[in-house]
Amino acid sequence: KAGVTQTPRYLIKTRGQQVTLSCSPISGHRSVSWYQQTPGQGLQFLFEYFSETQRNKGNFPGRFSGRQFSNSRSEMNVSTLELGDSALYLCASSLRQGAGEAFFGQGTRLTVV
């Protein structure tokens, strides 16, 4: 079965712009989590969505937001981009909330110039 699909794979944006990233989870999976990976901070949790509701949120500013649709696809949005937002953004799919095992997509590499 198809894995987790993230689009786009690469993005270059200018400071101050906003960006929307998309994640389609594994078919049948209803929980989607987002992570930011940078060389300095490693992998950090952004937020988790289950049944179209945000269930958990990491320690990121309000410029980072997300949503989940009825088909479990999720989007995350970053507004007023800063240079420090340059990172690999990874989406993880789980069968349900509390399932534990999470399967990651290939990520979106965002570069802010």
Partner 1 sequence: EDKVVQSPLSLVVHEGDTVTLNCSYEVTNFRSLLWYKQEKKAPTFLFMLTSSGIEKKSGRLSSILDKKELFSILNITATQTGDSAVYLCAVINNAGNMLTFGGGTRLMVKP
Q: Minimum distance between the CB of residue 54 and partner 1, rounded to whole angstroms? A: 10
Helix (H) or strand (E) holding 19: strand 19-24
Contacts 24+ apart (CB under 8 A), 98-103: 99/31, 102/33, 103/3, 103/4, 103/26, 103/29
Cβ closest to partner 1, residue 12 vs residue 43: 43
Cβ closest to partner 1, residue 58 vs residue 79: 58
Q: Point out which residues bind partner 1 (CB under 8 A).
A: 4, 31, 33, 35, 42-45, 48, 50, 55-56, 58, 88, 90, 92, 94, 97-107
